[in-house]
Amino acid sequence: MDKRDNILFSDTFDVKDLDKGGKRFDRVSRIDGRSQTHDMSLVLDVNSELYPLEAGDKFKLTLASSLSLGDTPEAAAFGKGEANWRAYVSGEERSLADDYDYVMFGRVYRYDDASGAKVSAFVSFGGLLMCLEGDIRHLQNFVVGDTIYLLMRKV
């Protein structure tokens, strides 16, 4: 895969724990993961009915600002960063999502850089939450209020 400006972060994660502290919702699992390359920690809510994972599974996680494969950005339909993803879903155009099994669309709602070199980015995907924590070099392109796509596939 070539380097694109719309890819904010990408790495392979190991599922270390699932629903630590007990399952709170019937169709949602909270994943605790650790990245293989960038030494990042991840806490992520996923719809376990659509995308079941078990402890020990490995998956590739990509965070992108758009689903566009080319150099041209998506046409903004609703405002800054809120692109018209419906063209990709209907199959009219090929997109980044075609290479993944599970895709969510959300918004960065918090960015915590209080601890120096380690930072945390918090994203809400319609109530399913993500916290990605690690070195500031890997999360410097995250801005509170920006929209983001999360893409996952098992490896």
d(CA 79, CA 99): 26
pLDDT tens column, 10-21: 999 999 999 988
Average pLDDT, integer, range 112-116: 82
Q: How does the average pLDDT of the chain come out, rounded?
A: 86
The contacts of residue 11 (CB under 8 Å, 6+ apart) are 35, 36, 37, 38, 40, 60, 61
Cα 6 to the center of its chain, rounded Å? 13
d(CA 114, CA 124): 20
Per-residue pLDDT at 71: 56
pLDDT tens column, 129-145: 999 999 999 999 999 99
Average pLDDT, integer, range 74-92: 53
* Between residues 102 and 3, the one the model is more confident about: 102
- Is the per-residue pLDDT at 57 higher than 90? yes
Percent of the chain exceeding pLDDT 70 equals 83
